Amino acid sequence: MCGITALQLRDPGLRPRLGALMAAMMAQVAERGPDSAGITIYPEIAVLKGVGHPAVLATEWRLHEISGTQAVAHTRMATESAITAAHCHPFVVGDGLSLVHNGSFANHATIRRELLARGVAFDSDNDSEVAARFLAYRLDSGDDLEKALRLLCERFDGFYTLAVQTPDAFAVVRDVIACKPAIIAETPGWVAMASEYRALAVLPGIEAARVYEPEPEEVYLWTST
């Protein structure tokens, strides 16, 4: 299962509340991933990961006190590797690229071998890290994030909803069958994505937001302001 929440703030006035908003969103998808959680907060690229209930972790991290411009978080129900902090998402690689994943990749071992042959190093045996390393490798090769995500769709088999952030962008993409849920909401003050609407319902101004589901294999990308 697993839960994803991500938020990019367009209204600078909301930045002091970024951590509090993310904590509230994560609590709403805690049932989707109760064994561990993690979050990356920009612009400092602060990465927090831990084993345990997401709501407890958010309190331990004092997440509500943290400000920032955007963040991406994950609540994990482990399927492909051990329940440890090292296997928690987000996987943060390259020049500050953070990736969270709901789903499972079928051909991650093959792609891992191809990347290893090209000199890419890995920190874990997690399938989602392969996707993060693939994207970082493509960015290093000169592709932009949108192209790198399109190549990922061509290359990876399996089920996935991915939320990706870099220091200057936020992107969402799903597999061709779109078996894993994703909802996007946008207002003039923010753009957010979550596995379930109830995580978006805690955001200010949700009543007036444009809410929609991302289409299969469409790359949705927003630039940071």
Partner 1 sequence: MDIDLSTTTVRTANATLRALPPGATARLTNPAGRHNLAVGLTEEITVEIDGTAGYYVGGLSKNATVLVHGTTGWGAGENLMSGLIRVDGDASQSLAASAHGGTIVVRGDASLRAGISLKGATVLVAGNVGDHCGFMAQAGTILVGGDAGRGLGDSLYEAVIYVAGRIKDLGADARVEELAESDVELVARLAKQHGFDHIDPENVTRVASARQLYHWGTP
Binding positions for partner 1, rule: CB under 8 A: 177-178, 181, 183, 196-198, 200-201, 211-213, 215-216
DSSP-derived 3-state class of residue 169: strand
- Asked if 64 contacts 136 with a C-beta cutoff of 8 angstroms, the reply is no
Instruction: Give the shortest CB-176-to-partner 1 separation in angstroms.
Output: 9
Would you say 29 or 111 has its CB closer to partner 1?
29
Instruction: Give the shortest CB-17-to-partner 1 separation in angstroms.
Output: 19
The first and second tokens of residue 118, run together, are 């090209």
Would you say 123 or 213 has its CB closer to partner 1?
213
Instruction: Give the shortest CB-46-to-partner 1 separation in angstroms.
Output: 29
Would you say 100 or 185 has its CB closer to partner 1?
185
Would you say 33 or 50 has its CB closer to partner 1?
33
Instruction: Give the shortest CB-62-to-partner 1 separation in angstroms.
Output: 26
Instruction: Give the shortest CB-213-to-partner 1 separation in angstroms.
Output: 5
Instruction: Give the shortest CB-100-to-partner 1 separation in angstroms.
Output: 20
- Cα 163 vs. chain centroid, distance in angstroms? 4
* 214 DSSP assignment: P
Asked, as a colleague might, if the bond just before 90 is cis with ω within 30 of 0, I would say yes
Chain position carrying tokens 């779109």:
178
**What is the distance between the alpha carbons of residues 131 and 108, in angstroms, rounded to a whole number?**
8
- Asked if 24 contacts 75 with a C-beta cutoff of 8 angstroms, the reply is no
Element of type H or E holding 58: helix 54-60
Instruction: Give the shortest CB-150-to-partner 1 separation in angstroms.
Output: 18
Would you say 71 or 203 has its CB closer to partner 1?
203
Chain position carrying tokens 């690689």:
93
Among candidate residues 31, 28, 75, 80, the one with its CA nearest the CA of residue 50: 75
Would you say 144 or 218 has its CB closer to partner 1?
218
**What is the distance between the alpha carbons of residues 193 and 172, in angstroms, rounded to a whole number?**
8
Would you say 57 or 203 has its CB closer to partner 1?
203
- Asked if 194 contacts 202 with a C-beta cutoff of 8 angstroms, the reply is no
